[in-house]
Each structure stands twice: as C-alpha cells, then as structure tokens.
A and B are shown apart, each in its own frame.
Chain A
Amino acid sequence: MTAQSVSSAGPREGYAVGSSIWSRAWHNHAPGYMFLLPWFIGFFGLTIGPIVTSLYLSFTHFDLLTAPRWAGLDNYVRMFTADPKFTASMRVTMFFVVFSVPLKLAFALCVALLLNRGMRGLPLYRALFYLPSLLGASVAIAILWREIFARDGLINKILAMFGIIGPSWISNPNYSLWTLIILSIWQFGSPMIIFLAGLRQIPQDMYEAASLDGASKWRQFWKITLPMLTPVVFFNAIIQTIEAFKSFTPAFIISGGTGAPINSTLFYTLYLFQEAFGFFRMGYASALAWVLLAIVALFTAFSFLTSKYWVHYDD
C-alpha cells in the first residue's frame, strides 16, 4: 500500500531531481538500516570477510607466522592426487553421514510418533527428550561418552551382566566410529520436535476415513503419515546432513584431537583442524574447507533435485 502511494505521488517531483528518489528512500529507510547495522557489521566483518579471505588463502601457502605465498592450484592438486589422509578422512566422514543421518531421523520419528499419541505430561517428555540436543555438542558430553564406552565403562558393566566381555569401544578402531554415530543419534531432539509439529498438521479426518475403510495402523502410517510428512523429512534430512558433515567436537574430544585409533575417527573437519592448527598449513586447510563446502552444496542440490519425486507438498 505505502509503496503504491509513494510511486503514484512520485512522478512530478521525481522528474525534477533523479537522485531525490534515492535520498527520499534513504530518508525513509535509514532508521531500519541503522537498526540492522550491527547485523551488517557482523555479516560482512565476521562472515563474508573471512569466507572471501579463506578462498584467497586456499590458493596460497600460509603458515600464520609469515605472509601467504601464492601457490596457484597446488593445494587442490595435492589434495586429489597425493594425500592419503584426505581420502581417509573423507571416507570416515561419509560413513558417519550415511549411517548417522538416516538412523537419527528414524529414531527421532519413532519418538515423535510415540509422543504424538496425546499422552499426559507431553511438555515434560518433550523437554526431556530434547535435552540431549542441548547438551550434545558440548565438551562435557563427549567426555562422559568416553567414560561410558571405556573398557570398564557403563556399557561393558551392563554387558557383563549377560556374561559378555565387551571391548574398549572408544579405543578400538572397529567400534570407535560407531560410538560417535550413537552419540549423534542420541541427539535426536531437534528433528523430533520438528517431526512432532509436522504430525500435528496432518488432518485427523484422513485417519478417520482410513479407519472406516479398514486400513490398519501400519498401513495408515505408510499411506498417510509418511507421505504427509515428507516435506518435514526433507527439511530434517538436509539440515541433519549438513550438521553431520560439520560435526567436529565429539571426535575432537574423544580422540584427543588425533582422530585415533588409527585415524578411525579422523573426521574431515578434524583433519582440516589438524592441518590448520596442528601443522600450521592454513592455505591447505582453507582449500580443504572449500572442498567441504562444495561437497555439502552438491549433496544439498542433489536432495533438492530429487525432492520432486518423493516430497509431497499438496494437501
């Protein structure tokens, strides 16, 4: 409305001085921009600035102490042709993403379905189940995890009751990555909340109609709940995939920053951190970061492109 009235009143004065439109626009919007200023400073100074700098650095050799030296494509060439740790860390991260994301979403959906049955004290349960997500990325939980999965930790104490002698999960290369996947699944809170909200949006009359037609609960889930929920699944899958690619803290804490044992928990981000702050190869680390960005972007684009075949937006 206001935009229209301004433009309809505009022509006469507007012809006279072209720039006055701009000055008037500025006059009208200045307070808004002033309020946004802190965000702009943060966005350009703390986000865009470092991103552009890191793109530049990815084409240099930079050890923090001396000025960057131009290296052309050296870093990228080395990454794809002569770096076994790049391949190893990529494999670890891919394994983590491929297993943790679907399992976490499935688990979150199960809990959401349970909570959606209109039980008493729902807000309490919802808060309780959300708690791990709040704590999950913290150092304390990673340390706790280390203790739980240690040789004489809680898990093995329980297994011992059934006569099973468990290994030291956290320090055995066959299992260490799985302990991190379980840690990730345990932080199912935020996808669960979103699923729960999505479940509430499904019209009840659909279920009533299906019941009248004699559809079992199982069939109702596959034919009504899941299709109606696909936009939410889609959203959760993308967010969680990005989160999984970026996962860093648990592996860093549990392996003491080493990716041990035998690089079995050497997440891509952890390798990036080692290169940057362990061996001071900021240029190479920046290149690693840009490749990660490209991979995440590819994954996301792929999800969007395939979404039209399985995500239902109509109702």
Chain B
Amino acid sequence: MTFRVDRRQFLMGSTALLAAGAMSPAFAQETRLRQFFWGGQARADRTNGVNDLFVAANPGTTIDSSFLAWGDYWPKLATETAGGNAPDIIQMDYRYIVEYAKRGAIAPLDDFAGNVLQLADFDPDQYEGGKVDGKLYGVSLGANSVALAINLDAFEEAGVAPPNRDTTYDDIRKMGEAFNAKGTMKVIQDGSGSEPMLDNWLRQKGLALYTADGKLGFGEAEIIEWFTMWDQMRADGICVDAETQALDTNGPLENTMLALGKAAIIASNSNQLVAHQAIIKSKLTISNYPRIAPGVGGGHYRKPSMFFSVGGSSANKEAAAKYLSFFINDPEAGKVLGVERGIPCSAHVRDAVAPTLDQQSQIALNFVANLGDLLGPLPPPPPAAAGEIDASLLRVLSQEVGFGARTPEDAGKYFISEATAILSRAA
C-alpha cells in the first residue's frame, strides 16, 4: 500500500514549510498555538470566531487551527502524537481520554486550575468527567446527552404526533404503521447497529455496555433480544431495510437516514441538532431515546460531549490552558459557540448565552437541562477495545442479521464470544 502526495501538494507543503521556517525568527517572541479538532464546517466557523476573539485579547499569540471529520481525526492525531508533533490544543473524546492520559500524550491541568484556568462556576459533574486517575486531563466543552433527531415535517405529513418524553419502542412501532400507510419514508432508522441506542436500552434494564473493570455488562439473552427486536421491526417494515441502512457508513452526517430522507427518526446526540439542521431543509427537533416500557427511565446521562486537552509535549502548556479558560469562560466566546459543542458548563456563560440562542439551540439547552427521570448515573469510561467491538462486531453483526446472513440468536452468541475474546486480548 502506498500513500501518495501529489506533486503540487508536496510543492505547496514544502514551500509553506520553508516560508514558515524563514519567517519564524522575525516572530520569535510570538506564542504559536496549534489547535486540532474534529467536526464540520459549522464547528470550524464557530471555533475560528473564538480564536479571533482570543488573539485580539492576547496580542502576540497566534493560533493555527485545523479540523477533520471524526473518522479521519484519530489516525492523524495518533500519528502526530507518535511523531512527537502533537498539537497544543487537542479536542478529546470520552472514549480516548484514558488511553491518551495514561500514556502521557496529554498533560494534567491541575497546576493551572484556579489560576490561568478558571473553573469557579464550572459544573461539578462535567469537571469530574474530565478526570483520569484523579487528575484533570480534559476540560469539557459542553454537556450533552444522546437524543433522537426527529424530522417534524415528516411527522406532520404522516399525520402522527412526533415522539415525546413518554414515547416507548411500542409507540414507535404504531407510528411506523401510520408512516407505512402514507408510504413516504420509514419512521425510524435501523438502530440495531447503534452502540448508543443499545447502551441506552441496556441501562433502562439496569445493565450497562461495560462494567467499571472493563468487562461486558450484559449477556447473551439481552443481545439476542436486542437483535430480535430490530429484526422484527425490519420484517414489519417499521424501520428502514438493511440495504438502505447500509448507505450510512457512520461517517459524515450527509449519509444519515435523516439527511437522505429515508427515515424520520435517527439516533443522535443533543448537540448535533444544530449540525443536522444545517444540512436538512425540513424542521427538526430532538427528544429522548424511546423507553423500553412506560415509566422506565435511567437510560440517559449527561456526558461531556468533548474535551479540550493540552498536548503532553506542548511547549506552551500555560498559554494553551489560558486559551481553554477563555474558551469556556468568556461570555462573548460563549455566544459565538452557542450549544454546537453541547451546553456550556460554566453557569455565567450559560446565563449570558441563553437569551441569544435561536429556537433550535434553546431546544437542545432545555432538553439537557430537563432530563429528569430519564437520567441515570454516569457510566465509567469504556475499555480501550470498545471502539473495535463497536466497529467490527456490533455494526457488522447488525448488518449480517439485516441481510439474513445470521439469525439474531446466532449473531447474539457470536457477539458475546468474540467481544469477550477482544476484551481479554486487549487486557
């Protein structure tokens, strides 16, 4: 396998390098911060807006910011880290923070907390969420929760009331029948391969995806029940068929069943309402994941949607911490950011931002603030192999059941045996 950089890219790249090298002595007194995050253009615009504010307030500082889509972000970050060339400001996820922290690839921020990094009225649960082994390694950029993204126009067209906080999986089934009578689109995506949906469903049963010591938190009976439930939804035409669902490769938001107009409901996150709405004409809203039975809650939790961490090898840790402080505390920065990365965690920023939000962002803010009985405890960070189990087991098996290559029973048994093997190999 070869990776090619075409000649023009190479020339441009090397010219830029030379230029940067030639210019650096002239700006030797400047602090250059490199920032790297995942997201789309909407997030980049907001982030760059904050960067401009920070640079204006801190003359002598420049910020080189770049971003990639989620799937491309992690290989690049790992490669740069391995090459000793990690960015100063790194967007970090709950899934990876333990790995990066334990290997010293991101720096503890405790020395800065309280002075350069102001956390006075920062939400305690979000502060705790950024800790690994008792030290602060990430500053939460917003609280969010899993949520269904819902196409309101489609529901209006089908003549059905959209899901609310009491909606159960059985209710979704009834909505699906009404949708099928109209025949425009399916009511819901095939959620059998969605790890957050499975997680939420398990939590409502008092179980979890993973235990605190990194083992599977459920057994064969549950995963078979899960695959069977979706298999029946598929057979009855409630959710989209396997061929359609396979169009969504878990990559860009443009390929979701919602954006493709194949289903009126998809599994998503509260902060992503803004991003979905940016690429879909129909009016959208969010609601909680379906309940497994009336009155059963506890599936949701307020999680740090993402963190900013500081590179372990960064030469400008203090300046980076100062940037983080500005990012989470400055009211003007908060107004630029809105709730695109989740609900601001500093109380005074939340108060300053709330009146300026558009209607959709208000929905996201209120959703996360009013989860009530839907809330359960914050689960422990997932084991390192969780990503592999999601990508190479759950999603593949969900397709195998969908295309009829395996029965739900077969898939459930295979899942448990393989996931156990992957977890023990990683440990």
Contact = CB atoms under 8 A, between A and B. Distances in A.
Interface in A260-291: 260-263, 269, 272-274, 276-280, 289
B82 A65 contact: yes
A172 B243 contact: yes
Contacts of B244: 151, 168, 171
A66 B103 contact: yes
B396 A263 contact: yes
A139 to B, nearest CB: 12
Given A256-B249, A260-B395, A277-B75, A173 B403 contact: yes
Given A65-B81, A278-B75, A246 B250 contact: no
A257 interface: yes
Given A65-B81, A255-B249, A171 B75 contact: no
A171 B1 contact: no
Interface string A150-171: 1100000000000000011011
A171 B208 CA distance: 31
Interface stretch (B152-160, B290-298, B385-393): B385-393
Interface string A224-245: 0000000000000000000000
A262 B75 CA distance: 23
A258 interface: yes
A262 B243 contact: no
Contacts of A277: 74-75, 78-79
B9 interface: no
Contacts of A256: 71, 249-251, 255
Interface residues of A: mostly helix, strand, loop or mixed?
loop
B247 interface: yes
B2 to A, nearest CB: 7
A269 B1 contact: yes
A262 B403 contact: yes
Contacts of A279: 387-388
A292 B2 CA distance: 13
Contacts of B396: 260, 262-263
A278 B384 CA distance: 12
Contacts of B245: 171
Contact of A167 (B243, B251, B387): B243
A261 B99 CA distance: 30
Contacts of A85: 392
Interface string A73-105: 000000000000100000000000000000000
Interface residues of B: mostly helix, strand, loop or mixed?
helix
B301 to A, nearest CB: 26
Nearest to A146: B247
Contact of B395 (A168, A170, A258): A258
B71 A257 contact: yes
B120 interface: no
Contacts of B388: 278-279
A110 interface: no
B387 to A, nearest CB: 7
Nearest to B385: A279
Contacts of A170: 247
B100 interface: yes
Given A168-B244, A171-B246, A269-B1, A65 B78 contact: yes
A276 B74 CA distance: 11
A295 to B, nearest CB: 13
A292 B245 CA distance: 32
Contact of A289 (B1, B79, B243): B1
Given A257-B71, A278-B391, 17 more contacts: A64-B78, A64-B81, A65-B82, A66-B103, A150-B247, A168-B246, A171-B245, A172-B403, A246-B1, A248-B1, A256-B250, A258-B249, A260-B395, A263-B396, A269-B1, A274-B391, A277-B74
9 A-B pairs closest in CB distance? A256-B249, A277-B75, A171-B246, A64-B82, A256-B251, A65-B103, A261-B246, A168-B243, A64-B78
19 contacts: A64-B78, A64-B82, A65-B99, A85-B392, A168-B246, A171-B244, A171-B246, A171-B247, A172-B246, A255-B249, A256-B255, A260-B395, A262-B396, A262-B403, A269-B1, A277-B75, A277-B79, A278-B75, A292-B1
Interface of A: 64-66, 85, 150-151, 167-168, 170-173, 246, 248, 255-258, 260-263, 269, 272-274, 276-280, 289, 292
